[in-house]
Amino acid sequence: MSPSLFRAAVRTAAAPSFRANTTVAIARSSPRAIFASNFSTTTRMRSEHQEETFEEFTARYEKEFDGVQDVFELQRNLNNAFAYDLVPSPSVLTAALKAARRVNDFPTAVRIFEGIKAKVENKGQYQQYLDELKPLREELGIMLKEDMYPEEQQASH
């Protein structure tokens, strides 16, 4: 047995979360078994949101954004919400925009609309989101990237 594998076996045997006798016995039989035994002794974690409906998703993220107290939380929640294979509802986006205002993060508020634009299937859906969120956008003073940089839009067409 190589010295590095021996060190791994000794460390694994000394770790309090593993049964020392089983790990050492396995380590003597096969180097590959060391790693297999480590994985087999841990419990499998299941996602608590495995079969979540769109309504449950919406309620969960509205609550998450209502509790945001700093920029890190806001951006983490946005990354998580936009990671799903769906476009968040206008109520979730409203909560996210209000959270961005609460933590005084204008750039992230603008990026929320960029995220929507990237997630929707076509320009018509994007326009529906813009129409739905227009009163809030005006209330919070959030401009769209395409309004701030119109020359980029013309260049991309």
Assess contact for 88 and 58: CB atoms under 8 A: yes
**82-140 residue pLDDT tens:** 999 899 999 999 999 999 999 999 999 999 999 999 999 999 999 999 999 999 999 99
**3-26 residue pLDDT tens:** 544 444 444 444 444 444 444 444
Residue ranges of domains in the chain, CATH in brackets: 3-40 (no CATH), 54-147 (1.25.40.40)
**69-82 residue pLDDT tens:** 999 999 999 999 99
Matching residue, tokens 């969120």 = 133
Q: At what angle do helices 3-14 and 31-40 cross, to 10 degrees?
A: 30
Residue 111 has a pLDDT of: 95
Q: Where are the alpha helices (DSSP H) in 46-149?
A: 54-66, 71-83, 90-102, 106-119, 123-140, 145-148
Assess contact for 74 and 103: CB atoms under 8 A: yes
